Amino acid sequence: INPDRVLAERDPMIYGQFLEHFHRQIYGGVYEPGSPRADGAGFRTDVLEALRRLRVPVIRWPGGCFVSSYDWKKGVGKTREPAFDKAWRVEEPNTFGTDEFHALCEALDCEMYICGNAGTGSIEEMSDWLEYTNLECEGAFARQRIKNGHAQPYGVKYFSIGNENYGHWELGAKERHEWARLVAETAKLLKRVDPSVQLSAAALPDPEWNLELIQRAGPYLDWISVHEYWDAIHTTNALASYEQAMAYTEKLDESIRKVEGILAATGYLGKIKIAFDEWNLRGWYHPNSHEVQLPTDKSQYLAPRDRNDENESYQMADTVFTACFLNALLRHADSVKMANYAPAVNTRGLIYTLKDGIVLRGTYHVFDLFVNQMGESIVDLWDQDIRRMNVTAKDGRNVQVDALDAVATRRSDGRIAVSLINKHPSDAAEVSVACEGCDGAGLALHSIAADSVFAYNDVEDPDRVRIEITKPEMAGGAVRLRLAPHSVNVLLI
């Protein structure tokens, strides 16, 4: 490691989170009025405490597919009118809306990132929403916010035009020429409301889609939005095995590289930032939700969603993969300035709620390690003799991947923090870390390990996957480590 050669500065917003009105993410998740564990505003205090530990910088809301038929105006004011959510085919009570989202972000001291309805909604509806949140007192919507008891503007800094509107599954999906024009015209109106708002638009790592979008709307955009779920289990719940999940790390940053290339080719690299604002190893399980011929029997499309609550689904594959992707974000810290893990609570989230408490999944501890131990400056690291391992991908291909994934950072306190991920399912890794000018003072190794790749946290055993701290030794200018198999580690030097 050369701690004096800084490659990039990471933005803390890469550790952002995401919440959607799906299953129990909002209701029964972060928001549960009447619960003995809720505060006066209806927020679960145990969930807030856990999220504060992660110093959440930004939350993207309200979706997700949900937003593409969402009428924000029904979710503000003293009288809330329930509506039928056409995305997920359930009744939306609208008791959690824009004002509650603002209160949540204030409680967590994080930025609001609103995703607008570019599906069934209109350009004007999106700009009305920004009037409600950001104008001081001008116009009917700012005055409505004041009447609702919120005298000061919310100051929403980030606004996304749409969500996955390129996909057939999205309500109000668009062709690329339609999308480019809609984004440009929406952005024009939003900037008239608040010129300081930072705008993003739904995009793909696809040259044709992005070229048309950037050529038409590029001058208005601050961000380009990218999503990815590597293990697409939405309709099957057939989870990739540990080794199959590690096969996904072969080309983990491929989408980022493609978008970087498109931005570079159009002259926007460094001008438009990448927001990887919805990501997770695995998709959410919601069968019979996006088909052409939809079932009428709720047992076929609502009841199966409860399987997202099965903690045995969240094993070391999820933990190790999550750390690998955070490493990838750090490697691309010069272009990726925001990322939002989807979601924060329940479904495939970091935190699982139940009536009497919460369970912190292994992925939660990964965020804890990266947020609280890794540094702000990405510094030069090169490796020698990294072991390769053969794994079988979910599609049957034989894939070779590095068994070790490492990124070095420098913290503001001068210490070097190195993330070291041993992806091998069964073998420990003998690693020597040499850092120019570093000594053995304050050495610490923070590790997330478990006795099996199948390990997970649950109500009966909430700490099976956890962070443990040991003190390694330095000899001859290097720290010598033995990293447990399927482990995530941060070394402090």
State the amino acid at position 311 in one-letter form. N
Which residue among 164, 228, 243, 260 is the active-site one? 164
- For tokens 């609280």, what's the residue? 372
Going by C-alpha positions, the residue among 408, 410, 427 that lies closest to residue 418 is 408
Residues 106, 41: Cα–Cα separation, whole Å: 12
Q: 413 Cβ partners below 8 Å, 6+ apart?
A: none
Question: How far is Cα 273 from Cα 8, in angstroms, rounded to an integer?
Answer: 14
What local confidence, expressed as pLDDT, does residue 76 receive?
A: 97
Q: What are phi and psi of 159, to 5 degrees?
A: -140, 125
pLDDT at 196: 98
Burial 184-198 (b: 16+ CB within 10 A, else e): bebbeebeebbeebb
Which residues of the chain are under the pLDDT cut of 50?
A: none
Q: Residue 82 contacts by C-beta under 8 Å, 6 or more apart in sequence?
A: 91, 92, 93, 94
Peptide bond into 207 cis (omega under 30): no
- How much is the pLDDT for 338? 98
pLDDT at 333: 98
Alpha-carbon distance of 15 to 135, in angstroms, equals 28
- Residue whose pair of structure tokens reads 């199948």 in the numeric block: 454
CA distance 324 to 248: 10
164 given a catalytic annotation: yes
User: Residues with Cβ < 8 Å from 201, sequence gap 6 or more?
Assistant: 160, 161, 162, 179, 183, 187, 213, 217, 221, 223, 224, 225
pLDDT of residue 477: 86
- Looking at residue 441, its pLDDT comes to 82
Coil, strand or helix at 260: helix
Sheet hosting strand 429-434, strand order edge to edge: 429-434, 478-483, 474-475
Active site residue 278: yes
Contact 255, 200 (CB under 8 A): no
Position 475 scores a pLDDT of 86
The residue annotated as part of the active site, out of 32, 100, 212, 278, is: 278
Bridge-based pairing state of the strands 273-282 and 474-475: unpaired
What span, in angstroms and rounded, lies between the C-alpha atoms of 184 and 61? Answer: 22
Q: In angstroms, rounded to a whole number, what is the distance separating the alpha carbons of residues 351 and 435?
A: 36
Query: Whole-angstrom Cα distance, residue 274 to residue 399?
Result: 28
Beta bridge partners of 419: 407, 490
Cα separation of 180 and 177, whole Å? Answer: 5
Give the relative orientation of helices 139-147 and 123-134 as an angle to the nearest 10 degrees.
Answer: 50
153 in Cβ contact with 99 (< 8 Å): no
pLDDT of residue 108: 98
Q: What is the pTM of this model?
A: 0.97
Cα 93 to Cα 70, 163, 384: the distances in Å are 12, 22, 57
pLDDT of res. 35: 95
